[in-house]
Structure 1
C-alpha cells in the first residue's frame, strides 16, 4: 500500500503549529547566543534547523550578489534569477526563527548585563566552565587527531592567548563604528561553527558587556552598526568559512579547538583593569561551583545533540 506523499518543508513551515515550534526554536537559539560558551549553532543542530538555516543564509547571499552584479552588468536574466533565488527562501521558517531569537536576545540582554556588572567573578567563572566543556565539540568533530594536529592547535592557542592578553586599546564602552562592525562580522561566524559561541567572541574582543547594554537599552545606533557588520560577515566571513570547512574541514576544527583553548584566558575571573591575570581571589569557592554548573550545562546540551541527531537507520521492507 502506497504511503501518502510528504508535505514540502515550505508548506509545513506555514502551519500554525510549525510556526509556534519555530518561534520556540528561535527563542532557544537566541537565549544561548547571549551566553558565552554555549553555541547557537549547536542548539540549532539540536532543534533540527541548522542545515536549513545555513543553506538559507548561503542562498540569500548568493541571490543578493546575483542581483547586485546583474544591476551593474544590466543583465535582466541574471537579475531575475537572483530575485527568484531570494523569493524561494523558506521565509516562514526564517521569520519565525529570527523573531523568536530577537525576543529572546532582548529579554536576556537585561539579565546578562546585570550579572556581568554585579557579579563579574561568578559570571566569568560560569562562562569559563561553559567554554571549557564546549572544547569537546570541535575536538570531536575534527575526527582522528595526529601529532601535527596537536602542534597546530597549540600554535593557534598561543596566538589567541597573546591576542586576548593585550590590554584594552581604549574605552570599549563607546567603540568606533569600524570596531563594532568588524566584531559583528567575525562573531557571526558562530553560525557555521557549532561549538563556537558568538558571545564568546564578543567577550574576547572586549565588546560583550557593551553589546548587551546596547541591546538592553535599545541603542539603535549601536544595534544598526552591529546588524550591518553581521550582514557583512554573512557575505564574507560565513561564505569563506563554508569554503574552508568544505575543503579543509579537519584542519579548520583543529585550529578552532586551539583558538577556543587560548581564548579561555579572557574568561579568567580574576584580572586587573589592564588585563593582567591575578591569583585566585575573592569568592573562590562560589566561583568553582559556578564553573562546574556552566560545564555541566554545556555537557547536557552536547548530550542532547547526540540524542536528537543520531543517524537514522533505514529499514527496507521485504517484498
Structure 2
C-alpha cells in the first residue's frame, strides 16, 4: 500500500474507534439468528428477514463492496511491501466492507443454521412425512406470495416462468447425479444456494432441495459439529476430515457464489427484471415436487403418511402466511 501523508494517516480509523458498541453487535447478531433460522428451511428466505429488519440495503452494499481491487489493496496493506504494513489502512478498507456488521450477522446466521439443521436431521430420521409436509406448505405459501407480487407483462416473461417451473420440476425428481454427487456438485450447490439467500422471497435452502443436496448438507453439518465436539473425548480425526471436507467445499462454493452468482442475478434483474423474477418464481412453483418426491421414496404415501403430510403442510402454509401478513408486504419491484 502506498505511503500516505501524515494528515491522511491521522484520518484513518483506529481499532478502538471502529468497533461498534455491544448493543449494536447484539442487535445485528439477533437479526442474523432470525435470518439463519429462515435460511435453514426451504420456502423461507433470509433475504426477506433482512428486508423486514431494515438491513437489506446495507447487506447488499457490504457484499457488493468486496471487489478484486479492494481485496488486493487489503492484502498489500498487510504485507511489508510498497511502504510497509499499514494496520489502520487495512482497517479503513475493512470498514468499507462493513466488516463488523458482517461478522456479527454471520455469527448469528451460522449459529442458527447449526441448530436448525440439527433439528431437521433428527426430524428427517424420525418423522420425514411431517418434516417434508411442513416444507411443502412453506414452499406452497411462498409460491402464492411471490405469484401475487409478480407482474408478467409479455409472453417472453411468461415463458421464463414456465421454464423455471420445468427446470425445478425436473431437477426435483430422482436424479442420481445430483442426489448425492461428488464435491463438484456440493461446490455448485453452495454457490447457488448461498447466492440466493440474499434475495427476498427466494429461499437458498429451497434451491438445495431442488439440487438434491438439502438433506445431505444438513446431515453432514450435524455430523461435522458432532465430530468436532467428539475430539475432546478422543473422537476420530478421520470423521472430522471426512465430513469437514464436504462442509468446507460447500462454504467455498458459497463464498464464490456470493460474490459472483449474486452479481449475475442482480445484473439479470437490472437487464430483464420481470423475466428474471418470473424464472425465479417458477423455480419455487416447480420445487413443490421435491418434498413429495422425498416422502414417496421413503416412507411412501400410505393413508397415515398422507394425512400427516397434509396436516404438516397446512401448518407450514399458516406459518408463512402469518409471517407475510404481519411482517412485510413483499414488493418484488423493490428487490
- Alignment TM class, shorter chain as reference: 0.7 to 0.9
2: distance between equivalents of 1:250 and 1:305?
24
How does the TM-score come out when normalised to structure 1? 0.79
Long gaps (5+) in structure 2: 1-16, 225-242
TM-score, length of structure 2 as denominator length: 0.76
User: What pairs up with 1:212-223 in 2 under 5 angstroms?
Assistant: 212-218=218-224, 219-223=243-247
How much does 1:185 deviate? Answer: 0.4
The question of whether the paired residues in 2 share the 8 Å contact of 1:184 and 1:230 is answered with: yes
Structure 1: gaps of 5 or more residues: 1-10, 310-319
Q: Is the 8 A contact 1:192 1:242 kept in 2?
A: no
Distance 1:299 1:145, change over 3 A: farther
Report how many residues are paired. Answer: 289
Could you tell me whether the CA contact under 8 Å between 2:123 and 2:131 is conserved in 1?
A: yes
User: Partner of 1:294 in structure 2?
Assistant: 316
- The C-alpha deviation readout for 1:141-180, integer Å capped at 9, x for no partner, is 43354555334322321232122224323872xx422111
Tell me what 1:312 maps to. none
Task: Map residues 106-117 of structure 1 onto 2, 5 A cutoff.
Answer: 106-117=114-125
Partners of 2:68 and 2:326 lie apart in 1 by: 33
Distance 1:129 1:283 in 2: 15
Q: Which residue of 2 aligns with 1:285?
A: 307
SS at match of 1:135: helix
The 3 A distance-change label for structure 1 pair 144 and 178 is closer
Runs of 4+ residues over 6 Å off in structure 1? 68-71, 80-83
Shift of 1:38: 0.7
| 1:82-161 superposed matches below 5 A | 85-146=93-154, 148-161=156-169
Structure-to-structure mapping, 1:1-319, within 5 angstroms:
14-64=20-70, 67=73, 85-146=93-154, 148-169=156-177, 172=180, 175-218=181-224, 219-268=243-292, 270-272=295-297, 281-306=303-328
